[in-house]
Chain A
Amino acid sequence: MYAALWRALPGPWPVRLLLVAALLAAVAWFLVLHGYPWVMQTFFPTPDPTIT
């Protein structure tokens, strides 16, 4: 799967390496700001801090 992705990238290997780094950075940015917060709110709600 990842080998196929690597082959699908254009250019010589240094360019591909840069493209992979950019892709990883974009995925990490999305996860940190949107993906993981959604997972936490949806599946792992934080404990209720109120007195009831």
Chain B
Amino acid sequence: MARQQRAEGRRPRRRASAASVLGELLVTAGVLALGYAGWQLWLSDAVLGGQQQEAARSFASQLGPIQPGPPDASAPDAALRTDEPPAEPAAADRESFAVMYIPRLGGFERVIGEGTSRAVLDSLEQGLAHYSDSAQPGELGNFAVAGHRNGQGGPFTHLDELRVGDRIYVQTAGAWHVYEFRNHEYVPPTAVEVVAPVPQQPETPADGRYLTLTTCNPEWSAEGRLIAYATWLGWQEAEAGMPAELAASLGRA
């Protein structure tokens, strides 16, 4: 009886009109679009960068031992050798072959893939792309690497925060190479001389071992390029494990 009274007192349910459904769909689309904008601005690099970081840790352990070597705080470069490092075989197109570490950029670890195709640059397993015509890590000449400033993990979002003297480490199957950051430069996208064997001197034959990093500038734009130059300090054998000061900066000492 009471149920019947409740049923009679309930208002009749109206069918949703096409206009109301369309309105709800449009509101939903708006919320999704706003969500995308927020994701791209604040979350994408954290989420995708985290995946690239995880991939780098996994690949690094495949390359060789990543346990830190014995620490020597009084002479952190004592283990570094400056003789000819072992020759690195050229990797196949899109193949992962090295891991880059930049302590200044907050525990930065990324896999370097061969070639500057979108497949490497946009990959969540890699993220850094080696200019195929440039030198191998530690080789005489210029080891040139590109990475996105924003989006797809944004590996080089904070490249402009490098300070003179900052260390950049490159782990390969045969060695740990140590580079020291020297300076930044802002150039147009066509300034191919920055990846020459001697940066900015395309006519000069290789006379040293350099590292050149390229990314977009300003952020979210391809209008120009931000370049970071570093010089090679030396190398240590892969079997020696992660350089102690790098391990300390990553909290693995």
Spell out A's residues near B (CB within 8 Å): 1-4, 28, 31-33, 36-37, 39-41, 44-52
Contact partner of A50 (CB less than 8 A), chosen from B24, B47, B116, is B116
Q: How far apart are B7's CB and chain A's nearest CB, in angstroms?
A: 15
The 3 A-B pairs at the shortest CB distance, nearest first, are namely A47-B222, A46-B151, A50-B146
Number of interface residues of B (CB under 8 A): 42
- Given the known A-B contacts A32-B43, A37-B44, A41-B122, are A48 and B222 also in contact in the complex, defined by CB atoms under 8 Å? yes
Stretch at the interface among B72-80, B89-97, B189-197: B189-197
Task: Contact check, A33 vs B47: say whether CB atoms are below 8 A apart.
Answer: yes
Any A CB within 8 A of the CB of B5? no
Chain A residues, Cβ within 8 Å of B225 = 49, 51
> Is the beta-carbon distance between A49 and B44 smaller than 8 angstroms?
no
Looking across the interface, which residue of chain A has its beta carbon closest to that of B144?
A51
Contact A51 B191 (CB under 8 A): yes
Known: A36-B35, A47-B149, A51-B190. 10 other contacts (CB 8 A): A1-B16, A28-B35, A36-B39, A47-B222, A48-B121, A49-B149, A51-B146, A51-B187, A51-B191, A52-B189
Tell me how far the C-beta of B167 lies from the nearest C-beta in chain A, rounded to whole angstroms: 22
Q: How many A-B residue pairs have CB under 8 A?
A: 82
Tell me if B150 counts as interface (CB < 8 A to partner A). yes
Q: Which of B20, B35, B216 contacts A31 (CB 8 A)?
A: B35
- Contact partners of A37 in chain B: CB under 8 A: 44, 47-48
B216 near A47: Cβ-Cβ < 8 Å: yes
A36 touches B122 (CB 8 A): no
Contact between chains at A47 and B122 (CB < 8 Å): no
A50-B129 in contact (CB<8A): yes
Q: A32-B39, A40-B44 are in contact. Are A51 and B148 (CB under 8 A)?
A: no
- B152 neighbours in A (Cβ, 8 Å): 40-41, 46
Q: Are A49 and B40 in contact (CB under 8 A)?
A: no
Is residue B131 within 8 Å, beta carbon to beta carbon, of the partner chain? yes
B 160-186 binary contact with A (CB < 8 Å = 1; else 0): 000000000000000000000000000
A3 to chain B, nearest CB (A): 7
Q: Which residues of B contact A3 (CB under 8 A)?
A: 16
Is the pair A32, B47 in contact by a Cβ cutoff of 8 Å? yes
B39 touches A49 (CB 8 A): no
Q: Can you list 23 A-B contacts with CB-CB less than 8 angstroms, sorted by A residue number?
A: A1-B25, A2-B24, A33-B47, A36-B35, A36-B40, A37-B44, A40-B40, A40-B151, A40-B152, A41-B152, A46-B148, A47-B216, A47-B220, A47-B222, A48-B189, A48-B222, A49-B147, A49-B222, A49-B225, A51-B187, A51-B192, A51-B194, A52-B189
In the bound complex, residues from chain A placing their C-beta under 8 Å from that of B189 are: 48, 51-52
The answer to whether B150 and A46 have CB atoms under 8 Å apart is: yes
